[in-house]
Structure 1
Amino acid sequence: MDNSDLFVCIDHIGLAVPDMDEALRLHVDVMGWRLLHREQNQEQGVDEAMLGTGAQGDENAMIQLLAPLSPESAVGKFIEKNGGRGGIQHIAYRVADMDAVDATLRERGATLLYPAPKSGTGGARINFIHPKSTGGVLLEITEPPAAPHH
């Protein structure tokens, strides 16, 4: 796969938040972001909300709020490690062909968290590149469903 074909754009920035209602009040009521989608992902152990701009375009980055459903979830552990406060948990890169990108990254030596993509927000296919392969930053790769969630 050619380097220019790997990524489409930055899909979203994932923010871990201890309290979803408080985070939504801040981002929607105070900052003016628009709630595009909200769901609970039991497999990932999170309550998540995708936020966009007023005129959310196909390649405009979003904000993803992630509140833990339990302290044992990855986001719960992240918040605990961060002194009970939230913070930037990951950056997500959008891809058009998850299987090809997944294979290319593995061939190039990246360590992915899952052996195969999992189901993410709104039916997206996701995987994560381990922070040990990226200099300390958790990177998500995401292939949106055919009908985008915004």
Structure 2
Amino acid sequence: MIKHIDHIAIAVSDLEESLSFWRDALGLKVTHREKVLSQQVDTAFFQIGASKIELVEPTTEDSGIARFVQKKGSSMHHIALGVEDLSSMIIELKSKGIHLLNDVPIDGAAGKRAIFIHPNSTGGVLLELYESVDS
């Protein structure tokens, strides 16, 4: 079951440069920063109401985010939805023929486990489904 929209992620080539807009120009407060080794990214989150904006910078030249930025430049990368039971969602989505980029959850930022749904299955948007590890 989907619980809420958690965040919108923006892939950026330079996190510090992007922070100068989101933090300094807009006045938003960084609520969480983390290097996510499993995804080879450095992240910064801004809480806006019940949702967040996540800036994602690649930390290697061969990561998925690096390839995305090389191809499309800095731009919106994905929408993340919080779910109640990720394992059940994986089974349900696979039974419906939904194209998952990973059907084994990966470690994400802030103690989350996540899967990604391919944009071919969603009408063009990369979708992340996650649950908290303590869920």
**Which TM bucket (shorter chain)?**
over 0.9
Report whether the alignment pairs 1:26 with 2:16: no
**What is aligned with 1:136?**
124
Preserved CA contact (<8 Å) 2:3 2:84: yes
How far did residue 77 of structure 1 move? 0.7
- The aligned counterpart of 1:117 is 105
User: Counterpart of 1:102?
Assistant: 90
The residue aligned with 1:126 is: 114
Paired residue type of 1:30: A
Residues in 1 aligned to 2:29 and 2:2: alpha-carbon distance in whole angstroms: 25
Instruction: Number of aligned residue pairs: give it.
Output: 135
- TM-score, normalised to structure 1, is 0.83
Unaligned runs of 5+ in 2: none
**Given residue 115 of structure 2, which amino acid in structure 1 is its aligned partner?**
N
Amino acid at match of 1:76: A
Amino acid of the structure 1 residue aligned with 2:21: L
Segments of 5+ residues of structure 1 without an aligned counterpart are 1-5
> What corresponds to 1:17 in structure 2?
12
- Find the aligned partners of 2:130 and 2:45 in 1 and give their Cα distance: 14
Which 4+ residue blocks in structure 1 deviate beyond 6 angstroms?
none
1:38 matched residue in structure 2: 33
Query: Once the two structures are aligned, what percentage of the paired residues are identical?
Result: 37
1:116 Cα deviation (Å)? 1.3
Contact 1:16/1:66, CA 8 A, preserved across alignment? yes
Name the structure with the higher helix share.
2
TM-score (norm 2): 0.92
Shift of 1:145: 4.0
1:68 counterpart (58, 72, 78)? 58
Write 1 or 2 for the structure with the bigger share of strand: 2
Output the CA distance in 2 between the equivalents of 1:106 and 1:61: 27
Task: Say whether 1:8 aligns with 2:31.
Answer: no
The residue identity in structure 1 corresponding to 2:62 is E
Superposed CA offset, 1:70-114 (max 9, x none): 2211111111101xx300011111111111112111111111111
Aligned partner letter, 1:29: D
The answer on whether the counterparts of 1:122 and 1:145 sit within 8 Å (CA) in structure 2 is no
- Could you tell me how far 1:42 is from its partner in structure 2? 1.7
